[in-house]
Amino acid sequence: MDQKKMLKQMIEFNNTAFNNSFNTMVTLQEQMETATNALLDQATWLPEEGKKAIRDWVGAYKEGREKFKSTVDENFKKVEEFFNSGN
């Protein structure tokens, strides 16, 4: 088997594995966000500043997660273009 073809298949496999893992992580995080919001809605003892801090933290985490995904996708695309450029 051609080495370039084999490496390309490895990259595609890694991309698929990453996407599946990432989507699973996103699903778990969204479930935890839902649970956290339910808890915050019921936590009358927690001041609004505390609730806002937690919600801001969740928002920052989501933003970081999306930036990470975008960077990984961009780099997988660069690698794919590299392997396709020699055809």
CA-CA distance, 50 to 48, in Å (whole number)? 5
The mean per-residue pLDDT over the stretch 56-80 comes to 95
- Which pLDDT belongs to residue 2? 85
pLDDT digits (tens, 9 = 90+) for 16-52: 999 999 999 999 999 999 999 999 999 999 999 999 9
pLDDT at position 87 over 60: no
Domain parsing of the chain, residue ranges: 55-87
Portion of the chain with pLDDT greater than 70, in percent? 97
CA-CA distance, 28 to 19, in Å (whole number)? 14
Q: DSSP letter string over 20-85?
A: HHHHHHHHHHHHHHHHHHHHHHH-TTS-HHHHHHHHHHHHHHHHHHHHHHHHHHHHHHHHHHHHHH
- Which pLDDT belongs to residue 82? 87
State which amino acid sits at residue 86: G
The mean per-residue pLDDT over the stretch 51-66 comes to 94
pTM of the model: 0.82
